[in-house]
Amino acid sequence: MTEATGPGPKPRSRLPRQPQQARSRARVEAVLAAADRILSLEGYEALTMRRIAEEAGTPVGSIYQFYPDKSAVVDALGQRYLDAFAAAIDALVARAIGGELTDLVDTMVDVYAEVFRSQPGGMTLWAGRHLSPELARADEASNTLIAQGLLTIVEHLTGGPGGERAERATRMVVWAANAVLHEVFKGDGEPDLETVDELKRMLNSYWEDLRERLATAQG
């Protein structure tokens, strides 16, 4: 591929070097934690390499060993947020298969509300749509992964394949829950937990209706 000339979008940064030693891993952890605090308390525009170094208590040059620029830090932090969502759906699937998920909707909403609550920097990042094309694609893949996990749970609880109806329904649940929880946790003040309760009521009604439709189709 030939090199582009003239004005245009900046090329994406190279992949960050992965820390091998415990001290280096600890430094990366401190850098990402500092970036999360800055995003949540000061906003995206305040997130600079020098500010991250100051907040992390580390020389700015040491950050460049792992992240070539601010965008690389943001991508790494964003991927960490998405990893938490993936871990949550994996745990829910395991609980469902193990017979420990007796209240699907309320448990699912509570688990993901806690993930949102624990990521104040992520809320700032996504609310402002400060996402690279790579991170935006990773976000879409994350939602797909969650929907697939939810489909596995639904099929396990209903005792059979759900087909296209269940696939569409689980995608809609992820879209709806994602949109509502983003609204609830994007502000600076206390989250509106009554809205979370309303989300549970809405999804419980949908879940009951879906179970009836799947039972009819399977019967």
**pLDDT per residue over 102-112, tens digit each?**
899 999 999 99
User: How buried is residue 183: exposed, middle or buried, by Cβ count under 10 Å (0-12/13-18/19+)?
Assistant: middle
Ranges assigned E (strand) in 6-121: none
Residue corresponding to tokens 């998920």 = 101
The pLDDT assigned to 9 comes to 37
Q: Is the dihedral of CA 166, 171, 176, 181 positive or negative?
A: positive
Residue 21 has pLDDT above 60, yes or no: yes
Stretch(es) of the chain classified as CATH 1.10.357: 71-218
Instruction: Choose between 11 and 82: higher pLDDT.
Output: 82
Which burial class, exposed, middle or buried, applies to 140 when counting CB atoms under 10 A from its CB (0-12, 13-18, 19+)?
Answer: exposed
**Which residue reads 């489909």 in tokens?**
151
Crossing angle of helices 104-117 and 193-218, in 10° steps, is 140
Return the pLDDT at 10: 37
Instruction: Give the list of residues 6+ apart from residue 135 with CB closer than 8 angstroms, or none.
Output: 74, 75, 78, 79
Backbone phi, psi, residue 78, to 5°: -60, -40
Rounded-to-integer distance, Cα 186 and Cα 108, Å: 19
Ranges of CATH 1.10.10.60 domains, the chain = 22-64
pLDDT of residue 7: 38
Q: Which CATH superfamily is domain 22-64 in?
A: Homeodomain-like (1.10.10.60)
Query: CA-to-CA distance for 165 and 171, rounded, in angstroms?
Result: 10
Q: What is the pLDDT of residues 31-71, one digit of tens each?
A: 999 999 999 999 999 999 999 999 999 999 999 999 999 99
Residue 2: band (very low, low, confident or very high) from pLDDT cuts 50, 70, 90:
very low
- Provide mean pLDDT across the span 197-212: 96
* CATH, domain range 71-218: 1.10.357
Q: What is the pLDDT of residue 19?
A: 54
Q: Cα dihedral angle (131, 128, 117, 156), rounded to 10 degrees? A: -50
Q: Per-residue pLDDT tens for 123-150?
A: 888 887 778 888 999 999 999 999 999 9
**Model pTM score:** 0.83
